[in-house]
Structure 1
Amino acid sequence: MLPPAPAILPASDAAIAEAARLVASGQPVAMPTETVYGLAADATNAAAVARIYEAKGRPGFNPLIVHVADLAAAKLIGEFDDAALALAKAHWPGPLTLVVPHRADSGIAAIVTAGLPTIALRVPAHPAMQALLAATGKPLAAPSANASGKISATRAEHVTASLGARIALIIDGGPCVRGLESTIVAATGGPLRLLRRGPIEIDAAEDMRGIEAPGQLESHYAPGKPLRLDATEADPSEYHIGFGAIPGDDSLSPTGDLVEAAARLFDLLHKADAAPHPKIAVAPIPGEGLAAAIRDRLKRAAAPR
């Protein structure tokens, strides 16, 4: 039985050892990564992965990203063509997830791929997540550590607010540096396909038609209030998230810095969700690349539910 509230331990050798013990016992634990906090469990243990779905309330058709220590470990799980290898060597460890054909002998629990012949793989850069991978010796399924469809967690306290007693342990590594989920690219033969925009800009055709990877549900990252986009002004009922020259009640970045905006996005959505205002408005986020990734998150957050 899980405790009434999760333990929160600052990242340390002792904390990683405790996290590894829980993972070995089939429990998911919340871990910091460079993107957002992840809910990590042994990807070879179907029951453990099912506890991730249970904790998140996650739709069964939405597959999970598997985190591994390095490219060599990834190649034991997925099949990498030349294009996939080039991307992995250029961007791993880091905030890039590659969807590749799944090896039948990988040992990954079928629940991880949600019935698909492909698998989403990432080599994280965060030292705490790398330490847990080393301590467990297992590939770790690790979607974002928040209730499914809700705002992603970029701080330990966000995990507590979203998941509470559904998990046993949170490793506190401070605020996430990137603050935006990984870019996802499918390398399954033929041209590369961009499945989700993120911190890394990849030259690939955008393809959002299927559920091949996390974050492709139309209503996603959703606060509990109506959200209005491209708001240059707000009425008194709206908590206004500003950007650049539009100050708002608080700003993603007063200077228009997109890296700062991405890192603060989920923090401010949490803040707006907790504010007394019954609605939320967000200023326009012009530009391409990272700006488009931020707009994509906001569009999903604003989608009717």
Structure 2
Amino acid sequence: MDTKRWTVDSDVDKKTDYPQLEEAAHFLQRGHVVAFPTETVYGLGADATSDAAVKGIFEAKGRPSDNPLIVHISSLDELDSLVAEVTDIEEQLMKAFWPGPLTIIFPKKEGVFSNLVTADLNSVGIRMPAHPVALELIRLAGKPLAAPSANTSGKPSPTTADHVAKDLTGRVAGIVDGGETGVGLESTVIDCTVSPPMILRPGGVSKEEIERCIGEVDIDPSLKKEDAPRSPGMKYTHYAPTAPMFLVKDARSIQEHINTFVAEGKKVGVLVTRETAVNLSADFVRVCGSKTQLDEVARQLYGGIRSFNDTDADVILAETYPDDGIGRAIMNRLEKAAGQKWID
């Protein structure tokens, strides 16, 4: 399969100039799979109402079809035709965080979505991305778009079009290149069909921000244990580099662990903040931001993880972060990338 690439300036006003998106939208209307940028990561989009189109997502990613997909819309006007009910709590969340990196689980309207999107559940996750290219593409396509991250299943999510191309060239019809994404981690997923509402996946909107909006919320205690996951990212290993990754609880001990692996004849990569990197000696050092700017760490995390696949590192050590605010989402991704492997 040939993979077409369209380059779009994400700073251009959508009202004046997005003609190259029209061709990408036509591809989507014809049931093809097209990758596109959002403010979180690049998504792999297809018509959420078509079994054949959505099947193309799973085939491209090599992803099991028992994990539901998030549906992306471009306008609140689209919501009534997609969901059975919108509660006051959901209204508050949409007012506060849409467009933005928050996915809300709604009771689905029957007969709208492909069952491959909802994994035969009676609910559906929907969000409105805060990216002008994504919003215009969805509008031009005229369809809600199912769009998981645009990477090979299990690998780090893509934050640039080059990441997508490396994973999926020849497997998808096209890639819309809108530059580097902003948040760098996937959306937060919250289920408001339960009381109190429950965060199923931490992401670009923190628990603390949500609670300031609607009051107390729970966090799902069994993200990896559900037989029928209600949200993407809950069931299988994700975000993993090729080499095994270990999380180090105390950054001050990273050099000691580097030395241990080097003594075993292994080449060591480290994924750390710039403050920690100053004192380290390793084969491959990747800096993903500052301890004082965790938004920066989140934005650079997947790129840092991916970069080790271009090295001959035998093992990777990663610095860890406080489990609150955006740090909760960072740690969720790191724990999945490392397969819960820790070194004290």
Whether contact under 8 Å (2:154, 2:236) holds in the other structure is no
In the alignment, the residues of structure 2 paired with residue 33 and residue 74 of structure 1 have an alpha-carbon distance, to the nearest angstrom, of: 19
Q: CA deviation at 1:160?
A: 1.1
In the TM superposition, 1:100-249 aligns within 5 A as: 100-105=106-111, 107-201=112-206, 202-203=210-211, 204-207=217-220, 208=223, 210=226, 211-230=229-248, 232-233=254-255, 234-235=258-259, 236=262, 237-247=267-277, 249=285
Q: CA deviation at 1:83?
A: 1.1
Give the secondary-structure state (helix, strand or coil) at the position aligned to 1:217.
coil
Q: TM-score, normalised by structure 1?
A: 0.94
Deviations 1:141-169 (A, max 9, x none): 01100011111000001001112210121
Q: CA deviation at 1:218?
A: 4.6
Unpaired runs of 5+ residues, structure 2, are: 10-17, 212-216
Whether contact under 8 Å (2:4, 2:174) holds in the other structure is yes
Unpaired runs of 5+ residues, structure 1, are: none
Deviations 1:118-157 (A, max 9, x none): 1000011111111111111110001100011111000001
Q: Measured at CA, do residues 218 and 24 of structure 1 come closer, stay the same or move farther in structure 2, by a change above 3 Å?
A: closer
In the alignment, the residues of structure 2 paired with residue 62 and residue 239 of structure 1 have an alpha-carbon distance, to the nearest angstrom, of: 32
Whether contact under 8 Å (1:243, 1:284) holds in the other structure is no
In the TM superposition, 1:42-81 aligns within 5 A as: 42-78=47-83, 79-81=85-87
Whether contact under 8 Å (2:290, 2:297) holds in the other structure is no
Whether contact under 8 Å (1:218, 1:303) holds in the other structure is no
2:287 maps to which residue?
Answer: 251
2:41 maps to which residue?
Answer: 36
Q: Measured at CA, do residues 218 and 304 of structure 1 come closer, stay the same or move farther in structure 2, by a change above 3 Å?
A: farther
Q: TM-score, normalised by structure 2?
A: 0.84
Give the secondary-structure state (helix, strand or coil) at the position aligned to 1:18.
helix
Largest Rg, 1 or 2? 2
Tell whether 2:88 aligns with 1:82: yes
2:23 maps to which residue?
Answer: 18
- The number of residues matched between the two structures is 301
Q: CA deviation at 1:73?
A: 1.1
2:15 maps to which residue?
Answer: none
Overall identity of the aligned pairs, in %: 39
Give the secondary-structure state (helix, strand or coil) at the position aligned to 1:229.
strand
Which moved further from structure 2: 146-155 or 78-87?
Answer: 78-87
1:297 maps to which residue?
Answer: 333
